Amino acid sequence: MSSPLPLPPKRNPQRKAKPSLAPPAARTRLGIRLSALASTGQLKLQFCKSCLEFAYPPREACPRCLIDDLEWSPISGLGEVIATTAIRATPNLYFRDRVPWRIGTVLLDEGPIVIAHLHGCCATGDRVRARLQLDKSGQAVFFALPEIENEFMNDDAQLREMTNDPKHRRVLITDARTPMGAALAAALADAGCRSIFAGVAELWRRDALLDDLSSFPKVELVRLDLTDTDSVRECAGEFGGKVDILINTAEYLRPGGFIDRRGLAAAKDEFETNVFGFMRLAQFFGPPMRARGSDGIDSASAWVNSLSVRSLSSWPEFGCNSACHAALLSMSQCLRGEFAGSGVRVVNVFSGPLETEWHDTLPPPKVAPSRLARELIAGLQRGLEDIVVGDVAKDIMSRWRDNPKVLERELAAGGGIDG
Amino acid sequence: MDDILSRLAKGLASGLIEIVDLTHTLDADFPVMILPPEFGQCARFRIEEVSCYDERGPAWKWNNFSCGEHTGTHFDAPSHWVSGKDLPYGSVDTVPLGNLVAPACVIDCSAEAEQNEDYLMDVDKIREFESAHGEIQRGSWVLMRTDWSQKKGSEYINLREDGAHSPGPNADAVRFLVDERDIIGLGTETVGTDAGQAFHANPPYPAHFYLHGAGKCGLQCLSGLDRLPAKGSIIFAAPLKIRNGTGSPLRVLALMNGSGNIPCGS
């Protein structure tokens, strides 16, 4: 059994913060495919249809028959630990700070033997479940977990290096005065957050959501208006060094595309909040988070973007919103590059239409904010980089992966959304 | 014998004429009029630094700012309202200069507004003012003092589920000021010239409807009206000269008789 992670002590003001360090990131082009799989929680290895065997590590051709059309096929990840060791001395700066570090060899049921990072509960001879996990460099590694889950499994120190579990962490919700912000505040408290900074713009505008928020456990309201550079600067000045997980929930949504809209005032408001708001957050919260990416078990951990699946391909009924989210998706990719090596993961959560007032003309299925919050947190606990929530988003995502041009044409014809 | 402007200059220099600022600082978090979300919204005041003695401009600091025409302490021109849309000289760039510098009558409704957040100034209140201070002269600004400018944030905008609650004039009072007294315009300390609940009046927003329909102007979000005398002050309220503009943030200054003890402008 794992033991629960105690609440980390308050920071010793005489201790220097640790620099951001990451394990080795170099991978081959085929190796990066494993990282791509890990980013969405999938596990596949190359399979040779001629030899009927899996190959690992990734190769250009089957090591046995040299046929070069290996096919990436799903595997269970189940297997047995055949040997373990602990690294106690290493010149690698990242691991030097974290020794002893346990690794082992795992014989997968499907045949290959992989070197895996070991959960504290996994010993030689144990049945385990190996999965691909992104490490602090953002690249995939194998990680072996107990075959049967236990209560505090996610508290394991080595696993926690690779996940973004909100437990004991401090989370900023950038716009908490939204149905999603409120749902997240509630779910994060349940997930064991240390504190929740709920960003609220224009405190002079009282409403029911704001009154509710003030009564949630662990929630501290903070002034944060993503459309106001000074406000973002001030909030980051006060709280930037305490934000372990930033969740950008800002959404200014209005229906409509471009031809039938009158003027640009609404579009400017949408871009100001959705697009420029993101840039302000990046400028002021990015540096303190990047500096704290390796600072112990409550280090800065993740930057989470709530994206519409419209970011992948325009849905003309919400054309301007699609454009904002396409920009957000592009900016999130840039941010990943800018955070690279810091240990801070940029997580994108894609969802279909949320059950909110601006989608009240759309038929179900729509994603309840509470479900989005739940799956977002599960994805952080699992250590994912891309999380897809709800049937509409899953459908659009799979059609986009299959053929973006076909999806574009179907959405343009207005008949592309199921339900 | 000094000419009139020389006497003014001496009055200013000696403090016998005092300058009062009736303007709120333009601040990103200052409340603006809230409309239902399906309507277009008033842009808040925003500021973006262009350079600050740094690599973006080594020896100078400057900012870009943006806001709506009706943000902060601001001027409403007749073309702001549908009732004034076809009037000549109805936009801020064409409003007659005489409207921008004019005497003011300050009607003190602060006691009533303190008692009743939805207080409506009526014709009786105006007549009561006139019996004490004399008739409101043609070509005056009428400023409705409520001390509302001393409220902050949510108390200032005072929004509830049934809308905003703040004092203003009733329809008859506005018609009286327009038809019987031919004022230049009406100034208030609240976020609009109309009361918070004026949407439910007939016509809706009667101050906007009657003032602008008659080519009169508005001043909103004024502060410091408690410092002005009931009569005898002069208001300087010149909006930015925006082509076809319906309003503009502006600095509103008043000249009034001072004690002579305080140097001008301090």
Residue B262: pLDDT band with limits 50, 70, 90: low
> A5-9, A223-227, A244-248, A382-386 — which is least confidently predicted?
A5-9
Q: What is the pLDDT of residues B127-147, one digit of tens each?
A: 999 999 999 999 999 999 999
In chain B, % of residues over pLDDT 70: 97
Taking an 8 Å cut-off on Cβ atoms, the answer to whether A205 and B43 are in contact is: no
pLDDT at A353 over 90: yes
The string of DSSP codes covering A94-115 is HHHTT-SEEEEEEEETTS-EEE
pLDDT attached to residue B263: 56
Domain boundaries, chain B: 17-31+69-257
Q: Which residue in the list B24, B70, B74, B80 is annotated as catalytic?
A: B80
Taking an 8 Å cut-off on Cβ atoms, the answer to whether A203 and B40 are in contact is: no
- Token look-up 């600067």 returns A233
pLDDT attached to residue A417: 55
pLDDT attached to residue B113: 98
Q: Which chain A positions have a beta carbon within 8 Å of B44's beta carbon?
A: 227-228
User: Average pLDDT, stretch B209-237?
Assistant: 98
Q: What is the pLDDT of residues A133-168, one digit of tens each?
A: 999 999 999 999 999 998 899 999 999 999 999 999
CATH 3.40.50.720 segments of chain A: 170-412
3-state secondary structure of A233: helix
Taking an 8 Å cut-off on Cβ atoms, the answer to whether A204 and B154 are in contact is: yes
Contact B144, B186 (CB under 8 A): yes
Residue of B nearest to A264 (CA): B40
Q: Which parts of B134-239 fold into alpha helices (H)?
A: 153-157, 171-175, 206-213
Which residue spans within A49-88 are E strands per DSSP?
53-55, 71-74, 78-87
Q: A262 is written with which tokens?
A: 């009158």
Query: How big, in percent rounded to 5, are the helix, strand and coil portions of chain B?
Result: 25, 30, 45
What's the CA gap between A152 and A340, in Å, rounded? 29
Taking an 8 Å cut-off on Cβ atoms, the answer to whether B43 and A265 are in contact is: yes
Instruction: State how far residue A18 is from chain B, nearest Cα, in angstroms.
Output: 30
Q: Which chain A positions have a beta carbon within 8 Å of B46's beta carbon?
A: 227-229
CB-based contacts of A215, cutoff 8 Å, min separation 6: none
Taking an 8 Å cut-off on Cβ atoms, the answer to whether A225 and B28 are in contact is: yes
Residue type, A404: P
Instruction: State how far residue A252 is from chain B, nearest Cα, in angstroms.
Output: 11
Taking an 8 Å cut-off on Cβ atoms, the answer to whether A228 and B48 are in contact is: no
Taking an 8 Å cut-off on Cβ atoms, the answer to whether B49 and A229 are in contact is: yes
pLDDT at A69 over 70: yes
pLDDT attached to residue A419: 39
Residue of A nearest to B66 (CA): A228
Taking an 8 Å cut-off on Cβ atoms, the answer to whether B44 and A230 are in contact is: no
Q: Which chain B positions have a beta carbon within 8 Å of A231's beta carbon?
A: 28-29
Residue A15: pLDDT band with limits 50, 70, 90: confident
pLDDT at A416 over 70: no
Taking an 8 Å cut-off on Cβ atoms, the answer to whether A203 and B153 are in contact is: yes
Residue of A nearest to B152 (CA): A204
User: Average pLDDT, stretch A205-227?
Assistant: 91
Contact A353, A310 (CB under 8 A): no
Taking an 8 Å cut-off on Cβ atoms, the answer to whether B157 and A227 are in contact is: no
pLDDT attached to residue B37: 87
CB atoms within 10 A of CB A405: 8
pLDDT at A248 over 80: yes
Predicted TM-score (pTM) of this structure: 0.94
Q: What is the pLDDT of residues A182-211, one digit of tens each?
A: 999 999 999 999 999 999 999 999 888 888
Taking an 8 Å cut-off on Cβ atoms, the answer to whether A204 and B48 are in contact is: no
What's the CA gap between A318 and A313, in Å, rounded? 11
User: Average pLDDT, stretch B88-115?
Assistant: 97
User: Average pLDDT, stretch A369-389?
Assistant: 98
pLDDT attached to residue A418: 47
Q: B262 is written with which tokens?
A: 């305080």
3-state secondary structure of A345: strand
Question: Is A234 at the interface with chain B, CB within 8 A?
Answer: no
pLDDT attached to residue B257: 95
In sign, the C-alpha dihedral spanning A305, A311, A315, A318 is positive
Nearest to B156 among A204, A230, A265 (CB): A204
Mean pLDDT over all residues of chain A?
94
Nearest to A266 among B29, B40, B153 (CB): B40
Q: Which chain B positions have a beta carbon within 8 Å of A225's beta carbon?
A: 28-29
| For testing contact with chain A, the best of B46, B160, B161, B190 (most A CBs within 10 A) | B46
Question: Is A211 at the interface with chain B, CB within 8 A?
Answer: no
User: Average pLDDT, stretch A271-291?
Assistant: 97
Question: Is A30 at the interface with chain B, CB within 8 A?
Answer: no
User: How many Cβ pairs closer than 8 A exist between chain A and B?
Assistant: 44
* C-alpha of A276 from chain center: 21
Q: Which helix (H) or strand (E) holds B128?
A: helix B123-133
Nearest to B154 among A203, A225, A230 (CB): A203
Taking an 8 Å cut-off on Cβ atoms, the answer to whether A269 and B41 are in contact is: yes
| For testing contact with chain B, the best of A203, A204, A211 (most B CBs within 10 A) | A204
pLDDT attached to residue A10: 85
Residue of B nearest to A269 (CA): B43
Q: A93-118 burial string, b = 16+ CB within 10 Å, else e? A: ebbeebeebbbbbbbbebebebebbb
Instruction: State how far residue A315 is from chain B, nearest Cα, in angstroms.
Output: 20
pLDDT at B225 over 70: yes
User: Average pLDDT, stretch A281-288?
Assistant: 98
Contact A325, A353 (CB under 8 A): no
Nearest to A206 among B48, B49, B159 (CB): B159
CB atoms within 10 A of CB B138: 10
Q: What is the pLDDT of residues A299-352, one digit of tens each?
A: 899 999 999 999 999 999 999 999 999 999 999 999 999 999 999 999 999 999
B80 is catalytic: yes
pLDDT at B5 over 50: yes
Taking an 8 Å cut-off on Cβ atoms, the answer to whether A225 and B31 are in contact is: no
pLDDT at B117 over 70: yes
Q: Which chain A positions have a beta carbon within 8 Å of B31's beta carbon?
A: 202, 204-205
Nearest to A229 among B44, B48, B160 (CB): B48
Taking an 8 Å cut-off on Cβ atoms, the answer to whether A265 and B41 are in contact is: yes
Instruction: State how far residue A254 is from chain B, nearest Cα, in angstroms.
Output: 8
Q: Which chain B positions have a beta carbon within 8 Å of A223's beta carbon?
A: 29
The candidate with the shortest Cα–Cα distance to B38, out of A266, A320, A356, A315, is A266
Nearest to A227 among B46, B152, B159 (CB): B46
- CATH number for domain B17-31+69-257, candidates 3.50.30.50, 3.40.190.10, 3.30.930.10, 3.30.565.10: 3.50.30.50
- CATH number for domain A170-412, candidates 3.40.50.11540, 3.30.465.10, 3.40.50.720, 2.40.50.140: 3.40.50.720
Instruction: State how far residue A202 is from chain B, nearest Cα, in angstroms.
Output: 6
